[in-house]
Amino acid sequence: MKYIEEIIETRAPAHTVFKAWSENYLKRGYVKGKPGYIVDGKRRIKFEVLDVKKNESLTIVWHSLIAKLVFIHTVEQQKKGSTVSTKVQIKGIFAPLVRLIIRNKIRNYLKTSLSKFKSDLEMYV
């Protein structure tokens, strides 16, 4: 399986990172199969929770017309803070084509969103 992955280091502890994910994505608790949405500008992006491991990982899937994008968010506690990574796996019959077309766009989005996430987290640490 091929992933598009970005990793950041933050001063925030793992439980704080996971709390931020749960407050942004899982507004009504940690439930596998739970649908949700995030607002990106004027668009509402729907997703479904595939897996949750408290203070470790959160896996969600976004369904598009031609592919599924699986986002695997992980956090690992370090001595001073934590390591946060996001992997994106593109699935479906058109996955190789979609990956070729949007790989760089996804990588840039991950870099930007993880950088913003880090700065938001560290404001309170």
In the predicted model, what is the mean pLDDT of residues 114-120? 92
Span 66-88, pLDDT tens digits: 899 999 999 999 999 999 999 99
Cα of 67 vs its chain's centroid, Å: 17
Report pLDDT for 16: 92
CATH superfamily, domain 4-122, is START domain (3.30.530.20)
Distances 80 to 37, 38, 54 between C-alpha atoms, Å:
32, 30, 20
Give the torsion through C-alpha atoms of 25, 61, 17, 10, to 10 deg: -130
Report pLDDT for 26: 67
Span 9-65, pLDDT tens digits: 999 999 999 988 877 766 656 667 777 777 667 777 788 889 989 899 989 999 888
Residue 94 makes CB contacts below 8 A (sequence gap 6+) with 66, 67
Q: Note whether 71 and 36 are within 8 A (CB).
A: no
Is the dihedral angle over the CA atoms 3, 65, 26, 38 positive or is it negative?
Answer: positive
